[in-house]
Structure 1
Amino acid sequence: MPYADLYDCFGVVCGRAALTNAKPANKPDGVEPARGIELICVTKMSTRSLQGKDVKPLDTIPEDKKVKVQRTQSGFDPFEKPAGQPTSPKFGKADSYEKLEKLGEGSYATVYKGKSKVNGKLVALKVIRLQEEEGTPFTAIREASLLKGLKHSNIVLLHDIIHTKETLTLVFEYVHTDLCQYMDRHPGGLHPDNVKLFLYQLLRGLSYIHQRYILHRDLKPQNLLISDTGELKLADFGLARAKSVPSHTYSNEVVTLWYRPPDVLLGSTDYSTCLDMWGVGCIFIEMIQGVAAFPGMKDIQDQLERIFLVLGTPSEDIWPGVHSLPHFKPDRFTVYSAKKLRQAWNKLGYVDHAEELASRFLQCFPKNRISAQAALNHEYFSHLPPRIWELQDSKYPSLSHSLSLVLSLSLHFSLSPSPLLLWSHRISVIPPPVS
């Protein structure tokens, strides 16, 4: 290959215009290999000065007229950043998030409001303390592994996981309040239409995880987040677990006492999705009535007494197998007969089909409880705009975008006008959801 052509290949580096007409026949002396870097001699003259003149071979150009230009090795990466230049924040790095304020603290984790330096969005940082002798808490491993595979608008989104020697940090989407705080701000029970919207979303999220054989196992208002657009999101999957088949080794130390079903209170470890459905019933009552359904104040015995007072003390006739449960002692419980739910919670009688749906959730015999998917088709929801059933399960964020549009004007944060009327108007003009 002629050397002039070789120079032309590197014209961008060496000064292409000055070498265009140079065609020396022999190898120039000015090219000297130097440990991986070649030195190329380029004449100090403009292209214009070469026109119409004989060009001298490079080896005849005086030394003082030559300039040496270094050509890098062929492995040079033009996109490589200089060593001293700071790199942009990246996901998976602790310094990519800024802590703003503490939101809460539990037995093994502290939750902070934070901000992502990657995209500027608010996040919730769940910082789990690691003990060197104990390792990573199993609840944290379980929560992270389950949430990585759950993408639904009614389930809190796990953005990132950061692991250091001292901590494991789960980075969630930031949701500004939870159902417990929301009910505290609106005492005496929520507007019936808001109850319907929140319950519908809770059932959608549960139906999604139950179809994937995942139990939440810790349903309570504190674990139901409410966004500023009215979306309800299941959160805190620390006690959740995937149900393998068969499995009869579950712990009965699950679910906060007030929302724990009687079968679990009596020591049963053989349960399925019906475990979560009891909690749904308790939360449904609490949203409507404004007080907890079964607020046990002492112990498990007291909690069971409160349940049996309303639903009746169970027997083998209505609950096959109850006498075989570890903690069931017939002589320890007062015998009560079942009552209508509206006798205990009068506001159930003010809303069409609310009492009947609540009774389907609050069944002492686990197998009699309605499933999340079946509950979505209950008559209680018959007055929701038909468009709501067109929202399909899909990966975040497409469904979330559609549901946000549906709910953006629907929530009754003040007491007037009716949220359902606003929602009906809004839902008629939104585009179809992206599946």
Structure 2
Amino acid sequence: MLNADVSRRRDDAISRGVGMQTQIYADRALNSEIWDIEGNRYIDFAAGIAVVNTGHCHPKVMAAVAEQMGRFTHTCHQVLPYESYIRLAERLNAAAPGDFAKKSIFVTTGAESVENAIKIARIHTGRSAVIAFGGAFHGRTFMTMTMTGKVEPYKKGFGAMMPDVYHVPFPQEVHGVSTADAMAGLTKLFKADLDPGRVAAIIFEPVQGEGGFYPAPADLVRGIRKLCDEHGIVMIADEVQTGFARTGTLFAMHGYDVAPDLITMAKGLGGGLPIAAVTGRAEMMDAAHPGGLGGTYGGNPLGVAAAHAVLDVIEEEDLCARANELGSRLKQRLEQIRSTTPEISDIRGPGFMVAVEFADPGSKEPDAGFTNRVRLEAQKRGLILLTCGVYGNVVRFLAPITIPDAHFAEAMDILEASVAAARQG
């Protein structure tokens, strides 16, 4: 079986709306390595977009899922509940930032977790308006698509967005957008278009994912917290991509001196199985009436079992420290590459959530073409990279935090060779 043959079948069978970055069809994977159906081996610096932080097929995760499969795969927690769901909620309530009583709910996808956080904020406050940031990504459902701050490919052609959603600038130091600009945008919004007394929630990513891996400055996070406290607004941290050791702490919000009211999470929680959650202040989480939250597959037993194993692995293997170590080594190597690569305009990100941004050395304009050449050159050499950013000029590095040192070193050599090849056109 060849990749090209499967690709032709894919074109006939799958909607073109499901975008695909590569035509490499996976056959098996282990930790940071993937082999395709032709037997080609790749080092995975995508990790399913920060899903398998604990690596592909971590033995502890696989064993937990297998054990649960031998018991039952589904009952629907709203019909026949199970203790593992409750125990996972207890663990997340204890682990999430904030010295206050918390409760949790489980759903299936990151978009669902964000949708439910908005529902909770609205029913708690009795308000409807939501504020998000330019460059944000929150999902592809209509509400989360509306809150997403990037038109193409997420909003283009899908008609009118949901009402009562507003965007303000997000700080991007490399592009001259400061925290002061973001806060001024909020002030202007409140003066010109929106009564803060109508705002249910302000939602932000501690590190913008699809938007370009721009970390939220500490003064922005404090400013959002202050505004929320002043006006009775719910502060939501979208940690779908940043969560579970990726940034060097269990949640990225552990790196700030304030806590959000609600946290959304998914991706890394399940180690490859679909599970998502909202954790937050108990009084807010209890605002909804019974039956108002949930879903048929929400907190599926297999996903719950995987999540318990993921939390165990993060603790037992000290993956937060490992993320900081790997991120530091990656940044050092990128700085070395930068010395001979004027196209690199910025290197950033906490922990092992690191990105490099490329721009034309003369005009300083974002260079998506160069960025894509780097990605394709790396792919030819056996390294899977992801791009991101509103201008498509950022490479984001999301390797499993469990990647062996030898594979990491191999990937760094491939990256350096790929950048050099991209410079040659």
Normalising by the smaller structure, the TM-score range is: under 0.3
Q: TM-score, normalised by structure 1?
A: 0.20
Larger radius of gyration: 1
Between Structure 1 and Structure 2, which shows a larger proportion of helix residues? 2
Higher relative contact order (CA 8 A, sep 6+): 2
Q: TM-score, normalised by structure 2?
A: 0.21
